[in-house]
Homo-oligomer: A and B are copies of this chain.
Amino acid sequence: METVSENAAFGGVQGVYRHASSSTNCDMTFGLFLPEEVADGPVPLLWYLSGLTCTHENAMTKAGAQAWCAEQGIAMVFPDTSPRGEGVADDEAYDLGQGAGFYVNATQAPWAPHFQMWDYITEELPTLLGERFALDMDRQSITGHSMGGHGALTMAMNLPGRFRSVSAFAPICNPSASDWGRKQLTAYLGADEAAWARHDATLMMQDSGFDGPILIDTGTSDQFLDLLKPEALAQAAAARRQQAVLRMQPGYDHSYFFVSTFMEDHVSFHAEALYRG
């Protein structure tokens, strides 16, 4: 593992690291914020999964999360959104291929050899983080934005006991029924929709729900509301009697100005579960 950069930030360190991934068969880069409390022993870990077109860097520089993670003594990891590099398949569209991994293990050509983001985020990267950094891997929570909110919700519901809490900013809630989803799930997983179900937060909510608290914020002026379908997940969560706070925030859009506005709430929400849950 190679250290790309380390910057002092909010009493801790914002690092960027690169490593050869056996899941994605290419080099992967991630950001990791460690609060100063890491000097005294392992700290809880909050995952932040990013949206379409993002790398590890967007949230790390624009979400303002470090201020709140430092306040709570929580580490935050910022993975990339896909495999990358010259040998990695790509597409001209912004919403398929590099920058658009959708947090699944691809089974279809030409994506399968590298697009194994599910395994990378749920298996390889946690193992690496637990070995290399002073992180308490028994205390993890997860959040994300847009495509990353989809990833956070589906991972949390598919892996009971892994995450103490899950939140999302403007998540893609029902990809099986959205143009942000059908195209990518078809490309990566094939036309058999049975393989898609565990990668759809609304279907997972109907099937099993989440064994902990959920917080979701979506802006009423989000330019992608028709693609996100918060109403589908809201219906499923209410029908299930799932412990959840689903907020529609008046006037907010899909941007990082929206994400950064509510980041303090989300980090506090996770801190409650990580320290007192």
The interface-forming segment of A59-67, A124-132, A166-174 is: A59-67
Contact with A255, one of B7, B66, B67 (Cβ below 8 angstroms): B7
The interface-forming segment of A8-16, A85-93, A201-209 is: A8-16
Contact with A261, one of B10, B255, B261 (Cβ below 8 angstroms): B10
B8, A221: Cβ atoms closer than 8 Å: yes
Closest CB in chain B relative to A85 CB, distance in Å: 26
**Which 10 A-B residue pairings sit nearest by Cβ, starting from the closest?**
A9-B257, A7-B257, A8-B251, A64-B64, A8-B252, A10-B261, A61-B62, A7-B255, A14-B257, A9-B261
Closest CB in chain B relative to A136 CB, distance in Å: 24
The digit string for A198-221, where 1 denotes a CB below 8 A from any CB of B, is 000000000000000000000101
B64, A260: Cβ atoms closer than 8 Å: yes
How many copies of the chain does the oligomer comprise? 2
- Give the docked Cα–Cα distance between A44 and B253 (Å): 26
Contact with A258, one of B8, B219, B264 (Cβ below 8 angstroms): B8
- Determine whether A17 belongs to the interface, using a CB cutoff of 8 Å to chain B: no
Main secondary structure of the interface of A (DSSP, over half): mixed
Chain B residues near A8: list those with CB within 8 A.
Answer: 219, 221, 249, 251-253, 257-258, 261
Which interface class (under 10, 10 to 19, 20 to 34, 35 or more) fits A?
Answer: 20 to 34
Mark A residues whose CB is within 8 Å of B.
7-11, 14, 61-62, 64, 66-67, 219, 221, 249, 251-253, 255-258, 260-261, 264
